[in-house]
Amino acid sequence: MELQAEWLETDGLGGFASGTVSGRRTRRYHALLLVATNPPTGRVVLVNGFDAWLQTPSGTWPLSTQHYLPDVVAPDGQDRIVDFQSEPWPTWHYRTEDGTEIRQEILVPRASQAVTLRWTLLTPAEGVSIHIKPFLSGRDYHSLHRKNNSFSTDVTRKDDRIWWQPYQDMPTTCAFANGSYDHAPTWFNAFFYEREQQRGLDCVEDLVCPGELHFDLSKEPGVLILQAGWPSTDVADANETPLACWRRLASAEKQRRAKLGEPLDRAADAYIVRRTNGSTIIAGYPWFTDWGRDTFIAMRGLCIATGRLDLARDILLSWAGHVSSGMLPNRFPDKGNAPEFNSVDASLWFVIAVHDYFAAAGSAVAPMEREQLRQAVEAILEGYSKGTRHRIAMTDDGLIASGEPGVQLTWMDAKVGDWVVTPRIGKPVEIEALWLNALHIASAWNERWRPVLERGREAFTNRFWNPERSCLFDVIDVDHETGKRDPAIRPNQLFAAGGLPLGLLTKEQTASVLQVAENHLLTPMGLRTLSPVDPAHISRYEGSVWERDGAYHQGTVWPWLLGPFVEAWVRHRNATTNAKDEARRRFLEPIENHLHVAGLGHISEIADAASPYTPRGCPFQAWSLGELLRLKRSVLKPT
């Protein structure tokens, strides 16, 4: 059992609970009650975690573990964990030295802005109790909390509920429990978060324990329900006991999760969240919000390949209303409502997602909705062909030029201060593949785009092949200088080789591109972003923010890139049964092993470019999981 593996429970509103199997909080984002005040953004941490200890006739046994400065790991509760299961929700089995066994469960009900905990005695006996010390902050989820004089330690009691509000500008926190409470506010200082230190960030935090909760487990399971915003909301029915509330919520959640299907489908559901009156996709947990590019790439697997077409429709229609001068926002910030238009590919990925949705839903798409999505596609193509922000415009050859100094527009978008690591100004290969695919898709209902497609395709064929390396240039007309080319071996060329609906290469060229990718880029965790033979290649994603962002697309492995690689690889072999079987064995089995490490049941954002390909970045990444699902349910579906 990997004690540092991480679990995740989400509420469908942008909030979540997360932590490690050991119980040690190693990130600033590990929290018990973390909610979105403006779903799915404006996320704040209200309850960071807790200490727990079991009292039996023979002694006191800690069940929790914390890490404090300078290097103090205490108490030793992780040593009493004998089993952990992440399904149907995070569940621990503890055994103390006197043989007492207890089960701990953490469940986040859907759309609740609450977290529920239950402790059950598995070895019935008299005189067994559990004691809980919650740790509170009340901070932005990206920040850290330090000891201060403004923190209010007041408590309000109302019936069988306890109400805390450390800061007036933060939501209240209500505790509903079937135990007793002793109010005894105490600061706990110098919690240490090792993952933050590894990321080169501040890593120390001070929290407040407002008091202690006590539960007599010999009588009934102990239940603690924590929720934000009470009394405006309440997960408990009128006159419902905490234990009855737990049973009702757990039963409903078990049924809901069972309907979702297999574990991968339930994992996919974690990324689907509400935005205003529609739906969107969180790019990754714990620190991303909903990004346009990530949403449209991820939804092909999370929604369309899994048959959740109503969700796909809602997401596409929700985003369709945000087209501005041909562009869709790439990000809605956590603070403020002004969207950021800094992506050349987000709008084009929207067109690909619309195509996949139309293909999957067929005649079930309502005529009005079909027309609304087509109009959004037309607006994108119109904006790009005439020219829009950041020098994004169609040139005389029918291709798309884009980019200006200081702006990162492609998915290789790392930027530190004023340093754009991989600017890729000019005509990046995957942007041209996406653009030509978008023209191909729109040509099905508007002949106007067909001549543009033919002109652009001819230019692509004539200008992107690099005979010296038997693959494609990564960027042509670099820095808008006609004829200047970047020969770096990167995975972006796969989108022209069969990783999108319209392939752009000959069979011989496709075979060569795939072989180059396999020789230089393929790893068990996905594809490197740059060949190891390139002088700019960086094999480890570690160190300061500057160092990590400098490595982000200079070798670092991205699991989501398996999607276009495997799709092109299988299509090149005519999608035969043997080809699909070989692809599952060679490419999917290694990445599926990753489901049991790092973010449990999920796929990480990135990994080191060299063995042992250590997982890095977000442990729960939408497009990583989405592309795995798309491969399993669509590309490699048995014929």
pLDDT digits (tens, 9 = 90+) for 341-379: 999 999 999 999 999 999 999 999 999 999 999 999 999
Structural domain includes residue 493: no
For residues 414-419, give the mean pLDDT.
Answer: 86
Angle between helices 367-386 and 346-361 (to 10 degrees): 150
Structural domain includes residue 464: no
pLDDT of amino acid 639:
79
Angle between helices 292-299 and 346-361 (to 10 degrees): 20
Structural domain includes residue 489: no
Question: Above pLDDT 70, what percent of the chain?
Answer: 98
575: left (phi over 0), alpha (psi -120 to 50) or beta: left
Task: Give the single-character DSSP code of 405.
Answer: T
Which of 230, 249, 268 finishes a domain?
Answer: 249
If pLDDT is split at 50, 70 and 90, which confidence band does 232 have?
A: low
pLDDT of amino acid 494:
98
Cβ atoms 225, 245 nearer than 8 A: yes
User: Which among 4, 25, 23 is positioned nearest to 91, based on CA atoms?
Assistant: 23
Q: CA 639, CA 633: separation in Å to the nearest integer?
A: 11
In this predicted structure, the answer to whether residue 158 has a pLDDT above a threshold of 90 is: no
Q: CA 261, CA 157: separation in Å to the nearest integer?
A: 42
Cβ atoms 586, 522 nearer than 8 A: no
Which of 249, 271, 294 finishes a domain?
Answer: 249
CA–CA distances in Å: residue 31 to residues 15, 283, 417: 10, 19, 29
Structural domain includes residue 141: yes
Residue 96's CB is within 10 A of a number of other CB atoms, namely 21
Structural domain includes residue 532: yes
In this predicted structure, the answer to whether residue 209 has a pLDDT above a threshold of 90 is: yes
Q: What is the CATH number of the domain that holds 82?
A: 2.70.98
Structural domain includes residue 294: no
Structural domain includes residue 42: yes
For residues 402-430, give the mean pLDDT.
Answer: 93
In this predicted structure, the answer to whether residue 231 has a pLDDT above a threshold of 70 is: no
In this predicted structure, the answer to whether residue 335 has a pLDDT above a threshold of 70 is: no
For residues 108-137, give the mean pLDDT.
Answer: 97
Q: What is the pLDDT of residues 594-623, one digit of tens each?
A: 999 999 999 999 999 999 999 999 999 999
Structure tokens at 67: 């890490």
Residue 122's CB is within 10 A of a number of other CB atoms, namely 12
How many domains in the chain?
2
Residue 529's CB is within 10 A of a number of other CB atoms, namely 26
Phi, psi of 268 (to 5 degrees): -60, -35
Q: What is the pLDDT of residues 295-332, one digit of tens each?
A: 999 999 999 999 999 999 999 998 998 999 999 998 76
Which of 249, 270, 295 finishes a domain?
Answer: 249
Q: What is the pLDDT of residues 179-208, one digit of tens each?
A: 999 999 999 999 999 999 999 999 999 999
**Structural domain harbouring 76:** 6-249
Cβ atoms 328, 410 nearer than 8 A: no
Helix, strand, coil content of the chain in percent (nearest 5): 35, 30, 40
In this predicted structure, the answer to whether residue 475 has a pLDDT above a threshold of 80 is: yes
pLDDT of amino acid 416:
84
Q: Which residue has the higher pLDDT, 381 or 2?
A: 381
Q: What string of DSSP letters covers 292-351?
A: HHHHHHHHIIIIITTT-HHHHHHHHHHHHTT-BTTB--SB--SSSS--B---SSHHHHHH
Q: CA 618, CA 634: separation in Å to the nearest integer?
A: 25
Residue 325's CB is within 10 A of a number of other CB atoms, namely 15
Structural domain includes residue 59: yes
pLDDT of amino acid 2:
85
CA–CA distances in Å: residue 348 to residues 311, 343, 379: 20, 10, 11
Structure tokens at 216: 């007599």
CA 345 distance to own-chain centroid: 19
In this predicted structure, the answer to whether residue 242 has a pLDDT above a threshold of 90 is: yes
Q: CA 14, CA 337: separation in Å to the nearest integer?
A: 16
Name the pTM for this structure: 0.95
